[in-house]
A = this chain, B = another copy of it.
Amino acid sequence: MAQRAAGTLLANFGRSLAFEEKPNLDEVSCVTHLLVRKLQNFIALSEDEQQAILSLPAGSKRLRGRQMIADDKSLKGAICLIEEGFACRHRTLPDGRRQILSFLVPGDLSDLRVFILGRTDSAVSTLSDVSVSVITPEHLLALTERYPRITRALWWSTLVEESITQEWLVNIGQRSALERMAHLLCELYVRLSAVAQVDVYTFDLPITQSELADTLGLSSVHVNRTLQELRRRELIVFRDHVMELKDVAELKKIAMFSPGYLHLRSVPSFDPAQKATPQTGGR
C-alpha cells in the first residue's frame, strides 16, 4: 500500500539515513540529538542535562508505511522519537469517518500522552516508512524524576503541540479549502525546515490526497480541486509525493499564516527572492 511513498522518501535528500543500514551508536545519539535540539527551543539545557538525554537507551526500529504504531508489540507503551519519515495521530468515528489530528515529523515524540495520561485517545500511524528511536517509559520516568528542567521542557513540547492543534482548529473552523491547504503547506514548510528536511522550498510529502482530506476536513475530490487551483496559480508543484513551493510569500498571504504558534526559535525565509536556508544545524 505504501511502496510508492517509501520509494520517493528515499529518492530525495541525500542527507537521509540510508534505510538499510543497521543502527549504530553514532546514529542513535545523532537522533536523540534531534530531541535535544527541539527542547533547546524552550530552555538552554546544561551539559549534564544534554548528556542525560543523549545517553537515553534508545533502540532504533523501522516501520512500514500505513501501520498503526501501537500495533507493534515491541512498542507497547514505549515512546517513539521519529527519526525519519512521516506519521500522524488520528481519531476515527464509529461510522468510519476519520480525522487526522497532527503530523509527526522527524524530531517529534509519538506519544507523551500515554506516558502521562496512562492511556491514549488517539491512534498513531505511520504515513510513510518510518524509523524511530524507542524509549521505554521507565527510562523516561527516571529522566524526568531526576531532571525537573527536562520535565518542564517536555511539558513545554506538549503545549507546543497543543498550540498547533489549536491552529488546526482555526484552520478547519474558519478558513476556506484553498486557505486551509495553503496554511498546511506553510506549516509543513516551517516545521520541516527546522529539522533540515527542506531543500529550496522543496520537501517530501509522502501522503495521499485522501489523507490530506482527512487532515483538512475536506473530501478527497475537493482536495484534488484545491491542489489543481494552487497549481494553476503556479504556487506549487506537487509530483510523486514531492512538494515544491513556488511562491511561499503568496501562500503565506493566502493562508494568513503567521508562524508564532509553532514556537520555534528561528523561522525560515518567506522571501520569494532568496533560497530557504534556515537554521544551520543538521546532521
A binding-site residues for B, Cβ under 8 Å? 89, 91, 93-95, 97-99, 101, 112-113, 116-117, 121-122, 145, 148, 151-152, 155-156, 158-163, 165-170, 172-175, 214, 216-217, 256, 260-261, 263
In the complex, which of the residues B94, B152, B162, B216 contacts A162, with contact meaning CB atoms closer than 8 Å? B162
Most chain B beta-carbon neighbours within 10 Å: one of A158, A170, A173: A173
Which residues of chain B come closer than 8 Å to A101, judged between CB atoms? 166, 169-170
Establish whether residues A97 and B260, one from each chain, have CB atoms under 8 Å apart when the complex forms: no
- Which residue of chain B lies nearest to A170 when distances are taken between CB atoms in the complex? B99
In the complex, A233→B248 CA distance in Å?
Answer: 49
In the complex, A91→B260 CA distance in Å?
Answer: 12
Most chain B beta-carbon neighbours within 10 Å: one of A98, A121, A148, A160: A121
Minimum C-beta distance from A190 to chain B (A): 15
- Which residue of chain B lies nearest to A171 when distances are taken between CB atoms in the complex? B99
In the complex, A112→B155 CA distance in Å?
Answer: 10
In the complex, A74→B184 CA distance in Å?
Answer: 38
